[in-house]
Chains A and B, each alone.
Chain A
C-alpha cells in the first residue's frame, strides 16, 4: 500500500521564524512529538522534535554520559529553556530531513522508520510541499 493511502493528512507545522516557546506550545496542544518546519512557500526545510529541544537545553556533558542523573536539579534545564524560548526554530531544527513520497510503498516506509529510529516521518510531494505525516502507530494500525 502507498503512503498516500494511510498517511495522516495533518499539515500541523511551524515556520522558520516560529519561536521555541511556540513550538513547545504547539507540540503540547497537538500531541505531536515532532513538527515539520516549512519555509514561506510551504516547502519542508526542517524538523524539530522533543529530542532536539531536550538535547539543546541540556549541558553538553550529559550527552556523553547518557544520563540526566548527574543533574543536581532541573533549574539549569529550566533556565536554558527560558533562554531558548524566544529564539527561532531555525536555530535548533534538523535540516537533513528524512521524508517519504506519497507513492512510496509501506515496506519502504517501515524500513526508513526502523533504520533511522524515527517516531514519525513527513510525506512531501514532488515540489517539496508537506502533504501528510506517517507516525509509527499509523503504520502499525495499517498493518494489523
Chain B
C-alpha cells in the first residue's frame, strides 16, 4: 500500500478563458471574465498522487486534514476515484485553489492559492496516531505539498523519521523550509518543488550545475534519489550512481494544463517502483505521465496507453557517473 499525506488539501478549480483582460488602464470599469469551460476536482500533491495510483490499480490511502463543505466535496471525489480516505476533520473550510487558463497561453496560467484553515494541536495529535497506524501497512509514504497554518515547519521531518523507524520509504514532494527540514530525516526520494523559489534546502537551484550541487547535498543527507525540474520539459535525476538529464521532446504549444503534471511524475515513479522497475525506468515513466497529463485539459492523465506512448518522447542522457 502507498500512503499519501496532504496536510493542506485543496479543491482545484479551473477556468478556461479565451482572453484575460487584465488591464487596469480603465479602472472605472469592472472586469468581467467569462469562462468558456470550468471544472473542479480534489487536489493537493498527495491526493493527486493517490488518485493516479488508485486508477493504476495500486492500493493507496490518502491522509491529511479536511474541513467544512469543501472538505466534503473533496472526500466524495477522492472516494469516487477508488482512493481509501483517512482524514482528520478540523474546523473551518478546506481551501480552494483557482487556476485560470487562457487560450494560447496554457503554459502560463494565472493561479490564486488560498492559505487553508489552521490546524490545532489536538488535530495534529489525532493525525499522528492515525499516521503511525497506517505506516504499519505501507511500503511507501508520500509527503506532499504546503504546510497549513498551525503545523510546525519541521513536521515533515517528524513524519519522515516515523516512517524510517517503521521501515517505510519516504518520498518528499515539497519545497522551501518543509523540504529542508525533511532532508534531515534522510528520506528515500525527494522531488523538490522549485516553482516559487529556485532553491533546495537553501541552496540555489536555477542552473544545471546548481541543481546537481543541491541534489548532491540531499544525497549527503541520506536521500537515495533527487529529481529536480530544471525547465518545463526537463528534469535532472541525481543519485549515488550518477546524474541523468531527462528531456521530453514536446513543444510547449502542446500543453493544455500544467497543474498536476509534477504530481503525475511522482505518482508515475512510485507506480513503477512498486511494480519492481529500476529507478531510472520508473523516472522515465513518471516523466511520460507528467507530459501526458500536461497535454490534456483534466489535471491527470490516467490512461496507461497514452503515458506509454509518451515514453518514446523522453530522452535520457547520462551526465555523470557510470
Contacts and interface: CB of A to CB of B under 8 A. Distances in A.
B283 to A, nearest CB: 29
Contacts of B174: none
A88 interface: no
A9 B79 contact: yes
A135 B86 CA distance: 17
Interface string B65-79: 001100110010001
Contacts of B87: 12
A42 B133 contact: yes
Interface in A95-115: none
A116 to B, nearest CB: 24
Interface string A124-144: 000001011000000000000
Contact of B129 (A12, A15, A26, A31): A15
B72 A41 contact: no
A20 to B, nearest CB: 15
A132 B84 contact: yes
A8 B79 contact: yes
B83 interface: yes
Interface in B34-65: 61
A4 to B, nearest CB: 11
A9 B83 contact: yes
In this complex, the interface size class of chain A, counting residues with CB under 8 Å from chain B, is: 10 to 19
Given A31-B72, A42-B133, A9 B84 contact: yes
Interface string B133-159: 110110000000000000000000000
B82 interface: yes
B72 A9 contact: no
A11 interface: yes
Given A31-B72, A41-B133, A10 B85 contact: yes
Contacts of B83: 9
Contact of B89 (A8, A29, A38, A41): A29
A40 B136 CA distance: 12
Contact of A11 (B82, B85, B129, B136): B85
A131 B89 contact: no
Given A10-B75, A15-B129, 20 more contacts: A9-B79, A9-B82, A9-B84, A9-B85, A10-B79, A10-B84, A11-B61, A12-B87, A12-B89, A25-B89, A26-B89, A29-B67, A29-B71, A29-B89, A30-B75, A30-B89, A38-B133, A40-B129, A42-B136, A129-B137
5 contacts: A9-B82, A12-B89, A15-B126, A29-B68, A30-B89
Interface of B: 61, 67-68, 71-72, 75, 79, 82-87, 89, 126, 129, 133-134, 136-137
